[in-house]
Structure 1
Amino acid sequence: MIDIQDLSGTWNLRGTDVDLPAEVPGCVHTDLLAAGRIPDPFFGDNEHAVAWVGRQDWTYQRDLTWDGPAHDRIDLVFDGLDTVARVELGGRVLGETRNMHRSYRFDVTSQLGTAAADRDPADATAGASLPLSVYLTSAYTEAARVEALVGPKPNCYPEPFPFVRKMACSFGWDWGPTLVTAGIWRPVRLEGWSTARLATVRPLATYRDGGGDLDLTVDVERTRDRALRAQVLLDGRELTVVDVPADQTSLRARIPVDGIAAWSPRGYGPPALYELTVVLLDGDQELDRWRRHTGFRTVTIDRGADDAGTRFVIEVNGEPVLAKGVNWIPDDIFPSRMTRARYEKRLREAVAAGVNLVRVWGGGIYEDRAFYELCDELGLLVWQDFLFACACYPEDEPIFSEVVAEARENVTRLSPHPSLITWNGNNENLWLHDAMNWAAEPGGGESWGEKYYLQTLPAIVAELDPTRPYQAGSPWSGSWEHAPNSPDHQTFHSWEVWNREDYGNYRDSAPRFVSEFGWQAPPAWTTLRDAVSDDPMLPDSPGVLHHQKAEDGNGKLARGLEPHFPAPASTEAWHYLTQLNQVRAIRTGVEHWRSHWPHTAGTILWQLNDLWPVTSWAAIDGAGRYKPLYFALRDVHADRALTIQPRDGRLVVAVLNDHPEPWTGSLSVESRDSSGTLLHIGAEEVEVAPRSVTLVPINGGDVLVATLDGRRALWFAADHHLGDPDLTVTASSVPGGLDVHVNAAGLARDILLQADRIHPDAVTDQGFVTLLPGESTTLHVRAPIDLDPRSVKDPWVLTDLASVLRENRPS
């Protein structure tokens, strides 16, 4: 068996005028923070004060001894080095690395000893202790070196991320700080082994009625030429034993598997998983064991032509799936801080918001194994970008061979995960090269990345993972015959809305698949207040603006409010109204596009999460607090929902049934005046087939209310001149928090309870709530301490749209 010696824990970190303990896995920034050597980079403009960290070279050091039994081979294994490293043991260079997204293995047998019995003991120094040093060169230095070799390349941000294979967004983005990391960011260990080990195991599992097929490839690394066997088990049941001749280092087995259930995405059946084990045997002696959970499913994307253009419909096990997706960015600018528990919390939050697909965006990382295992367990589909975003990328050396090695390793590493259903070549590079005329800029006319997306990467996927469809980019129309971001062909990014247009313009088209769209809002009040020292804190005060990274972001927020509301009279009103505008924008887009299913086959919101406190498009802010948008996602992603939509010059109720059973019942439509008084009510029997949409024409009015089986949709002709809702608010103490009871005598639009204004760790279970005259609701506030019921009466804890608009009126 392989013996493992974990090297996680305390190392030593050295830099200019720095010598202190370091934690591995980790990074320089977190070590300096722990030692009190730098201020919190998330607070104020401290991001600038710590910029020097990313421009220095650093060294991690510790003494290394092999404490295990004698083996043929001792390897030093790094699961991740960030990024440009020279590894030395006892003054001897083991190797150099230039890629954050790869793992590395170095043979240290001759230095650490433990020679096998049939080797000359003089070749080793068993039990030797030697200094291990990892010298890390600044990513800026490496990027400058590479740029000097290959020439300049256009990109969207004034940072050199295309010239080094590193998490691009550590160089800053329009929602992220520039904090360029270095470190040993994933686990490191010594491995002792003899005769042979399992170098890679690549299982490709597909489903067919009543069973599945396992296409298994195993690569073996050897120290001895011996005939071996590989035993394959599924949930402990032996499927097969494959001979591995003495001269063979790779085997492939195609194994039919009967009597299993399909892995299915959320809403389409259970995500059935099975424990797959591969045991490498020398006679009866176990040399190595590989174990993962996997699932059997078949994935295709229907990209056929029709009268409207080119489809993009994800199909799992032969069934079309309406994608209710979110874009995922790294959940921490320092990804070494991520834990399985934190991944689980965030992904379960996605599930609770009705999400069934998570897109891992191309400016981040290939996430930790725990991320994909949790998606497997939760039935979340994973769309995985290769790591290219918003830039031209050189196709020359030394980058090209790094890209190939990185892609091959990660396609193999992620192959067991049934949740992973598509590989995507890049984020926006094909589109922006065309739209921004990068070909006319220095370095943009040749060797700009097209070869990766249209040749290199699809060839790697076809060789190593033909069970998953590949797409060249997001957005991508399928070929250069159409504009890359054509709404009529395959995937589409909707950014004219937000950047230049009002959210009502979402209704102007029905793209085939919307893989990015979004609308900004500030984070929760406490998150923003904790991040800045501005006094007073204003929408345009220095700290608030520093935590707004989008170009003219606050200007776009203001212009987005103009068609709908008067200018906010206070920072609190600005915070409330911009949060409300974000919710309304996303509702408008998703409900409109869902009403066009299957013509529009899905949406992927930009974005689920943030990696620091910032005004952004996220639904969950950088402190992990929910914006009101998070709660709205539950509604727009519900399996059964109603929405009132303008269609062909009139209004319709779109009855949205993303459920395996028909939806039948009496659809009620109420017409009310602007005060909410009932004027007319009508009803119509509807029967909506499974996984389909039915449109029911209705007449217009000031206020329309459609209901079916407890689901409700509202339509308002105007926002202004709302009357006093005459709210009665009472709060009662309950175990773990408060129950807040709200009754409305009049029409109460967009009631919002901001629990973090009661206590920083308090949460509520609803976002914006609208009550018709005479209606009530209960908001549940939960916190780790007892809460004072009177706190609900504090300013801005609970408010509503009419109250905010009254604040803007002249006295």
Structure 2
Amino acid sequence: MNASLPADTHLPLAGAWTLADAEGTVLGDCAIPGDVHSALLALGRIPDPMVGRNEALVQWVGEAAWEISRTFDIPRGAAAGRWAVLELEFVDTFAEVMLNGDVVARLESSFIRHRIDVTKALVEGSNKLRIRFSPAGAEATARAARQPFPIPWSVSNNKVPDLNMIRKAQCHGGWDWGPCLMVTGIYADPVLHLYEAARIESVQIRQRHAVDGSVKAIAEIELVAPAPTSVPVEFTLGGKAATSEIAVAAGTTRVFLELDVGKPSLWWPAGHGAQPLYEAVVSIPDDSVARKVGFRTLEVVTAKDEAGASMIFRVNGVDIFAKGANWIPADALPSRITPGRIRALLSAAVEANMNMIRVWGGGFYEFDAFYDLCDELGLLVWQDMMFSCSQYPSTPEFLEQVDGELRYQIKRLSSRPSIALWCGDNEVVGSLTWYELSRNNRDRYLVNYDRLNRIIDRAVVETDPDRRFWPSSPCNGDLDYGDAWHDDGSGDMHFWDVWHSNKNFEHYYTVKPRFCSEFGFQSFPSMTGIRSFAKPNDWNATAPVMEFHQRDGAGNSRIIDTMARYFRVPSGFEQFVFLSQLQQALAIETAVRYWRSLKPHSMGALYWQLNDVWPAVSWSSIDHTLAWKTLHYHAKRFFAPVALAARIEAGALTLRAINDRHAEVRLNVRIRTLDLGGALLAERMAEARLPPDRAVDVFAMEAPAADDRFYFIDALVDGVADPALQIMMFPNVPKRFDMPAAKVSLSQVEEGRFKLESDAPAFYVRAEAPAFPGHFDDTSFLVLPGEPRTITFKPETGVAMPSAADIAVHHLGATYR
């Protein structure tokens, strides 16, 4: 494909490139941005790795070398006296770049932006650009062999050894929720720049807030030039401008320009206020950089107290309970990670009342579209650096590479209001105890870890001193290498005992984390998701295909075991899927409602995980087809700004109420005791005034173990009924109850709106539109006789609205009949 240079001297090189194998055989087109696996799939040369057990059939792709190429034209005289720079970002991973037969760069990190001087290789007329990718796994093994001592890698997750040696997404080698697809390609638009004299290397917009609400914005600018020169620099923001003529040295020159922006409207996390964004632009001749700026103050408060130390995100002077989930890459095939897919996932997070997303350290620093949406939607970002579950080298060469990566990414992202915290890694401190090598020589590997962690710390402090650096997740605090999986007194906690130790949901009541940044429970995907990879004859929890799409070895067994503890054996596979999702929702709901009720002692709950990279049995609340699992519907309720937390223990039911709003709330609560036919046995009322940003006791009552009744709690908030506050509770495990054979009917009220009615109490009524991508505004709730519920379907963009005949309805009592 040919491209010609436009008048603005920036030539986009995205589009159809030519793909060839290691022998030079041309195979066809490869879309860039994009990956080789996706190109081969589009060319019909490999099966879809998401389907069946095809992943095993395409491993050769990641083990082979590949080449992509294209041509472009430079008009006569267009490059004369210009500095030609080829910009490549998200290059995965080891690549030799050739222009007109000359090797202009050898790349070895997917986490930095490469700006390559191609002035000498560029010619007028037709130019040919070739990029040759070598297998990342082979390079990882070679680098491991050169280490001064062996470095443990994540054997339980990666199918490709020694990925900790290279700067590539660690999950590409497989994880306990994803496939091993060693993808390669370029995932951002390549561009050829022809600069007149200098270019802008980075722009960081810093904020200085005065007590009277006025703000100064400071643009820290790095200019790069091949030779000494002088350029005018302009900084504009909010209708104001600052300019200066800058003498630029050969190499890098740092410039500071300042603007008084008055008293701008403040940016708030979702649920706490608006998200006004102001465009800041820094420009020089031939180059400009734009940043969307949200003005806000943010600090991470880790104050000592009787329990240990707090962990609180304080935004604009207000303590925020962080509600959210962990984010993994949006797809195992980078070509499928589109802005639309990212928007669907993050919009669903906000719709479920989340205000924080943790970008987990085993993936990659996300695309601009991700952070743009977090800024727009009000999602705070806990940003891990890309290290996870392994030990890592501390050789000078590796640390130098990491230092460059970190400084680039911090400069790239630090102007964003959504970035709340830089975290050094995911579970790397904890992994010191996982591997025999590090257990037997802890001093060596602790020093090895400390060398890396100090490099990360220094890069943050020197590059973004206004934000908090957190050493690791989980972590009890600076230079604290304790057990943050079980010590709940300070810092952030990863609490996995319920899932990995197969404990009851009530075990969540045994810990009081200050901030829980990981906890989870698995479920099967939706039937829509299951149909995307399995044929009907594979619809069985222990079928080979179903187990192939379960990457946590004993995962399906744990799901089945838990189901037997809480529920009666389901009568069919679809009922089994329904129950798997219900028990996942109840597990996470148990934890979140309890921990929120401890506010302000506990101030964060980020469950594992929001999304999936492929169709699988996993911890996600939204499956690979973008279908909401039952957990996500429950999350919308248990993360609501005003919520209830009920608990039955030792024959007593206690109720607490949580208020995340900035003003007092008046609460009127009704608790009904009903028999299994729906007859009222008792009714009690309670009132409470909830102070801002607090949780308080509402009432307590006797609730002895029984199998003939249940409790239904609903409430008014400031005099208005709020379905999000409804809670149904059994005084025993659900399998002990002989539930009525409820007949649930669904009728269409108007397009997209449906009414659910039942002739007997129907528990956890779940509506699903299997062939229609989208979700309901609410589902998985109690329907009582004479108390119908109305729900609204929200289709994804371009999807038709289902009719009543298209909707399946499940409920607990129907699972064993």
Tell me whether the two structures share a fold, i.e. TM-score over 0.5: yes
State the alpha-carbon separation in 1 of the partners of residues 355 and 575 from structure 2: 34
1:2-151 correspondence to structure 2 within 5 Å? 3-16=9-22, 18-19=25-26, 20-67=28-75, 68=78, 70-113=80-123, 127-150=124-147, 151=149
Which one-letter code corresponds to 2:98 in the other structure?
A: E
1:225-304 correspondence to structure 2 within 5 Å? 225-238=228-241, 240-247=242-249, 249-253=253-257, 255-280=259-284, 286-304=285-303
Q: Which moved more, 1:327-336 or 1:251-260?
A: 251-260
State the alpha-carbon separation in 2 of the partners of residues 509 and 746 from structure 1: 38
Is the Cα contact below 8 Å between 1:521 and 1:579 reproduced in 2? Answer: yes
User: How far is the alpha carbon of 1:220 from its aligned partner?
Assistant: 1.2
State the alpha-carbon separation in 1 of the partners of residues 555 and 380 from structure 2: 31
Cross-structure match for 1:741? 755
Question: Could you say if the C-alpha distance between residues 206 and 727 of structure 1 is closer, same or farther in structure 2, counting changes exceeding 3 Å?
Answer: farther
Question: Could you say if the C-alpha distance between residues 441 and 663 of structure 1 is closer, same or farther in structure 2, counting changes exceeding 3 Å?
Answer: same
Question: What is the SS of the residue equivalent to 1:350?
Answer: helix
Cross-structure match for 1:590? 592
CA offsets 1:339-385 (integer angstroms, 9 cap, x no match): 22222222111111111001111011111112111111111101111
State the alpha-carbon separation in 1 of the partners of residues 261 and 38 from structure 2: 47
Residue 731 (str. 1) matches residue 747 (str. 2)? yes
Is the Cα contact below 8 Å between 2:538 and 2:544 reproduced in 1? Answer: no
Residue 777 (str. 1) matches residue 784 (str. 2)? no
Cross-structure match for 1:119? none
1:539-618 correspondence to structure 2 within 5 Å? 539-618=541-620
State the alpha-carbon separation in 2 of the partners of residues 647 and 566 from structure 1: 23
Is the Cα contact below 8 Å between 1:279 and 1:289 reproduced in 2? Answer: yes
1:755-766 correspondence to structure 2 within 5 Å? 755-756=769-770, 759-761=771-773, 763-766=775-778
User: How far is the alpha carbon of 1:640 from its aligned partner?
Assistant: 0.9
User: How far is the alpha carbon of 1:180 from its aligned partner?
Assistant: 0.2
User: How far is the alpha carbon of 1:224 from its aligned partner?
Assistant: 4.6
Cross-structure match for 2:325? 326
Question: Could you say if the C-alpha distance between residues 207 and 157 of structure 1 is closer, same or farther in structure 2, counting changes exceeding 3 Å?
Answer: same
Question: Could you say if the C-alpha distance between residues 626 and 196 of structure 1 is closer, same or farther in structure 2, counting changes exceeding 3 Å?
Answer: same
State the alpha-carbon separation in 2 of the partners of residues 541 and 409 from structure 1: 46
CA offsets 1:736-760 (integer angstroms, 9 cap, x no match): x5x443222322111122210xx35
State the alpha-carbon separation in 2 of the partners of residues 559 and 764 from structure 1: 30
Cross-structure match for 1:462? 461
Residue 685 (str. 1) matches residue 687 (str. 2)? yes
Question: Could you say if the C-alpha distance between residues 697 and 787 of structure 1 is closer, same or farther in structure 2, counting changes exceeding 3 Å?
Answer: closer
Q: Which moved more, 1:619-628 or 1:530-539?
A: 530-539
Which one-letter code corresponds to 2:233 in the other structure?
A: A
CA offsets 1:479-531 (integer angstroms, 9 cap, x no match): 33643432112100011111111221111111110000111001101211220
Residue 193 (str. 1) matches residue 199 (str. 2)? no
Is the Cα contact below 8 Å between 2:391 and 2:431 reproduced in 1? Answer: no
Question: Could you say if the C-alpha distance between residues 760 and 269 of structure 1 is closer, same or farther in structure 2, counting changes exceeding 3 Å?
Answer: closer
Is the Cα contact below 8 Å between 2:89 and 2:110 reproduced in 1? Answer: no
1:277-676 correspondence to structure 2 within 5 Å? 277-280=281-284, 286-434=285-433, 439-440=438-439, 445-446=444-445, 450-451=449-450, 454-478=453-477, 479-480=479-480, 482-485=482-485, 486-500=487-501, 501-533=503-535, 535-646=537-648, 650-676=652-678
Question: Could you say if the C-alpha distance between residues 10 and 441 of structure 1 is closer, same or farther in structure 2, counting changes exceeding 3 Å?
Answer: farther
Question: Could you say if the C-alpha distance between residues 640 and 449 of structure 1 is closer, same or farther in structure 2, counting changes exceeding 3 Å?
Answer: farther
User: How far is the alpha carbon of 1:453 from its aligned partner?
Assistant: 5.5
Is the Cα contact below 8 Å between 1:733 and 1:787 reproduced in 2? Answer: no
User: How far is the alpha carbon of 1:171 from its aligned partner?
Assistant: 0.7
Is the Cα contact below 8 Å between 1:27 and 1:334 reproduced in 2? Answer: yes
Is the Cα contact below 8 Å between 1:72 and 1:223 reproduced in 2? Answer: no
State the alpha-carbon separation in 2 of the partners of residues 435 and 135 from structure 1: 37
Cross-structure match for 2:700? 698
Is the Cα contact below 8 Å between 1:26 and 1:185 reproduced in 2? Answer: yes
Is the Cα contact below 8 Å between 1:25 and 1:336 reproduced in 2? Answer: yes
State the alpha-carbon separation in 2 of the partners of residues 329 and 309 from structure 1: 31
User: How far is the alpha carbon of 1:47 from its aligned partner?
Assistant: 0.1
Q: Which moved more, 1:685-694 or 1:68-77?
A: 68-77
Which one-letter code corresponds to 1:475 in the other structure?
A: P
User: How far is the alpha carbon of 1:145 from its aligned partner?
Assistant: 1.2
Unaligned runs of 5+ in 2: 1-6, 704-708
State the alpha-carbon separation in 2 of the partners of residues 780 and 681 from structure 1: 30
Question: What is the SS of the residue equivalent to 2:121?
Answer: helix
State the alpha-carbon separation in 2 of the partners of residues 449 and 299 from structure 1: 32
Which one-letter code corresponds to 2:150 in the other structure?
A: P
Which one-letter code corresponds to 2:14 in the other structure?
A: S
Question: Could you say if the C-alpha distance between residues 648 and 195 of structure 1 is closer, same or farther in structure 2, counting changes exceeding 3 Å?
Answer: farther
Question: Could you say if the C-alpha distance between residues 435 and 620 of structure 1 is closer, same or farther in structure 2, counting changes exceeding 3 Å?
Answer: same
CA offsets 1:642-667 (integer angstroms, 9 cap, x no match): 22124797432111111112111433
Aligned residues: 779
Is the Cα contact below 8 Å between 1:329 and 1:611 reproduced in 2? Answer: yes
User: How far is the alpha carbon of 1:397 from its aligned partner?
Assistant: 4.6
State the alpha-carbon separation in 2 of the partners of residues 75 and 618 from structure 1: 42
Question: Could you say if the C-alpha distance between residues 578 and 331 of structure 1 is closer, same or farther in structure 2, counting changes exceeding 3 Å?
Answer: same
User: How far is the alpha carbon of 1:276 from its aligned partner?
Assistant: 0.8
State the alpha-carbon separation in 2 of the partners of residues 471 and 666 from structure 1: 41
Question: What is the SS of the residue equivalent to 2:537?
Answer: coil
Which one-letter code corresponds to 2:129 in the other structure?
A: L
State the alpha-carbon separation in 2 of the partners of residues 398 and 55 from structure 1: 25
CA offsets 1:10-43 (integer angstroms, 9 cap, x no match): 2111114752221111111011011000000000
Is the Cα contact below 8 Å between 2:102 and 2:121 reproduced in 1? Answer: no
Which one-letter code corresponds to 1:460 in the other structure?
A: A
Is the Cα contact below 8 Å between 1:528 and 1:613 reproduced in 2? Answer: yes
Is the Cα contact below 8 Å between 1:432 and 1:438 reproduced in 2? Answer: no
**2:714 maps to which of 704, 707, 712:** 707
Question: What is the SS of the residue equivalent to 1:535?
Answer: helix
Is the Cα contact below 8 Å between 2:216 and 2:261 reproduced in 1? Answer: yes
State the alpha-carbon separation in 2 of the partners of residues 480 and 786 from structure 1: 54
Unaligned runs of 5+ in 1: 114-126, 281-285
Is the Cα contact below 8 Å between 1:394 and 1:448 reproduced in 2? Answer: no
Question: What is the SS of the residue equivalent to 1:376?
Answer: helix
Question: What is the SS of the residue equivalent to 2:146?
Answer: helix
Cross-structure match for 1:752? 766
Question: Could you say if the C-alpha distance between residues 748 and 733 of structure 1 is closer, same or farther in structure 2, counting changes exceeding 3 Å?
Answer: closer
TM-score, length-normalised on structure 1? 0.92
Cα RMSD of the aligned pairs, angstroms, is: 2.3
Question: What is the SS of the residue equivalent to 2:531?
Answer: helix
Is the Cα contact below 8 Å between 2:611 and 2:622 reproduced in 1? Answer: yes
Is the Cα contact below 8 Å between 2:432 and 2:446 reproduced in 1? Answer: no
State the alpha-carbon separation in 2 of the partners of residues 36 and 174 from structure 1: 29
Of all paired residues, the percent bearing the same amino acid is 30
Question: Could you say if the C-alpha distance between residues 405 and 762 of structure 1 is closer, same or farther in structure 2, counting changes exceeding 3 Å?
Answer: closer
State the alpha-carbon separation in 1 of the partners of residues 448 and 217 from structure 2: 34
Is the Cα contact below 8 Å between 1:671 and 1:703 reproduced in 2? Answer: yes
Residue 801 (str. 1) matches residue 804 (str. 2)? no
State the alpha-carbon separation in 1 of the partners of residues 46 and 481 from structure 2: 52
State the alpha-carbon separation in 2 of the partners of residues 360 and 332 from structure 1: 14
Question: Could you say if the C-alpha distance between residues 339 and 522 of structure 1 is closer, same or farther in structure 2, counting changes exceeding 3 Å?
Answer: same
